[in-house]
A and B are shown apart, each in its own frame.
Chain A
Amino acid sequence: MEPITGKALVLAASAIGAGLAMIAGIGPGIGQGYAAGKGAEGVGRQPEAQGDIVRTMLLGAAVAETTGIYGLIIALILLFANPLIGLL
């Protein structure tokens, strides 16, 4: 059996790290869905406030979405442009 090389270890750890980073993408999805559900309830209760509700939700959702993008970027960089391999 071949011994584990440093490069293989870094690649394996990077793959695990990328998987963990992708968890960050789930949260905003759940949060946005929850907000949209509550927004729909609000519009049902007060239809004239639709513009305000959509506007507030739009800004909140756009900020939340960026948080998911951070995780995605980390995962993709670990997988396809890993800077750690160059350090070996």
Chain B
Amino acid sequence: MSVKETQVNILIGALLLNGFFGVVGFFVVEDYFPYLGGILFGVIIALLNFRLLFLTLDRAVKMPPAKAQAYATSRYFIRYVITGVVVYVSIRAQHINVLGTILGLISLKLVIFKTQLFNSKAYFKNIFKRKEEK
């Protein structure tokens, strides 16, 4: 699978997962629209950060190792500050629910786990299979 395909898969997965969170929130959360706004805000920033991460790494691998190390670390802190501003804004703004934003930001990790790590049914079957069984 190419890097572009991986990114598209993760983008689609993140949108689907957050759509699911949005639907579940409709039945669970009292104040629905701030929650939905939070999810939307969170997932957009998470996806933009993910794209920024790709651009950083794509550029870093063409550099000398020592320079790549400093470059990747400095870019990480820029993305970290962006995330910090986003969380701060969602805490301060009344019309955005901070829990929705956090869910949107973190959903990317769940999508990566689902699409890249736990993507084989045989893996789940083998968990409950005893080694002595043939």
Known contacts A29-B77, A73-B102; A36 and B71 CB within 8 A of each other: yes
The residue on A at minimum CB distance from B2 is A51
Minimum distance in angstroms from B134 CB to a CB of chain A: 34
Q: Are B62's CB and A40's CB within 8 A? A: yes
B92: Cβ under 8 A from any A Cβ: yes
CA distance A8 to B106 in the complex (A): 32
Looking at chain B's contact residues, the main secondary structure is: helix
Which residue from A25, A51, A59, A69 sits with its C-beta under 8 Å from B112?
A: A59
Q: Are B73's CB and A80's CB within 8 A? A: no
Q: Are A76's CB and B87's CB within 8 A? A: yes
Q: Which of A32, A36, A62, A66 neighbours the largest number of chain B CB atoms within 10 Å of its CB?
A: A36
Minimum distance in angstroms from B123 CB to a CB of chain A: 17
Interface residues on A, range: 35 or more
CA distance A40 to B49 in the complex (A): 21
Minimum distance in angstroms from B27 CB to a CB of chain A: 24
CA distance A76 to B49 in the complex (A): 19
Interface string of B70-81 (1 = CB under 8 A from A): 111100110110
Residues of A within 8 A of B (CB): 25, 28-30, 32-44, 50-51, 53-55, 57-59, 61-63, 65-66, 68-70, 72-73, 76-77, 80-81
The list of the 10 closest CB pairs from A to B, nearest first, reads A36-B72, A33-B73, A37-B69, A40-B68, A66-B109, A36-B60, A37-B65, A33-B69, A43-B61, A29-B76
